[in-house]
Amino acid sequence: YKQAHKTWVKGIMDMKKSRGEAIYPDANLTLRLTYGSVLPYDPADGITYNYYTTLDGVMEKEDPTSRDYIVPSRLKELYEQADYGGYTNAKGELPVCFIINTDNTGGNSGSPVFNSKGELIGVGFDRNYEGLTGDIAFQPDLQRAVCVDVRYILFIIDKFAGASYLLDELSLIE
């Protein structure tokens, strides 16, 4: 695999150089910067995924028989009481995750996501299934990075964990 990958990368670099196109670093052991937009996507005809998920969706997917879909009782209580603090969106929903059309790869988990003002809006942790080919070629129409919304992070710290004292150490912008 390693030799084939080296050959492939060399071919891509030679092709781009011959076309006068920019060659970007792959960020292995270096800083990776990327940019994009928060967008929905359409992976197939008749299928559209919204650009964000909410706590409502977490509750809809709850499955106590699946380790990945167990919802802690404290989170259920907060949901049933709609006790979201000031972390809701304009519709009164508690955002959980959102997707962005950035070029990401394995190892990007924990990467901060900033808006155009330089404000932290989330943390990247995954990518969508259709975007797995992104290690070979970036496909902006299909590739999405999955990010946890900073409002959900703050909600978990404050309301779920009861650790609001941690928020006192942060400079939060509303």
Give the DSSP per-residue string, 60-110. HT--TTSGGG---HHHHHHHHTT--TT---TTS--EEEEEE-----TT-TT
Cβ count near 26 (within 10 Å): 11
Q: What is the pLDDT along the chain (174 residues), one digit of tens a residue?
A: 788 888 988 898 899 899 998 877 666 666 767 888 999 999 889 999 999 999 999 999 999 999 999 999 999 999 999 999 999 999 999 999 999 998 777 777 889 999 999 999 999 999 888 887 777 777 888 889 999 999 999 999 999 999 999 999 988 887
User: Which H or E element spans position 155?
Assistant: helix 150-155
Tokens of 164: 């609001």
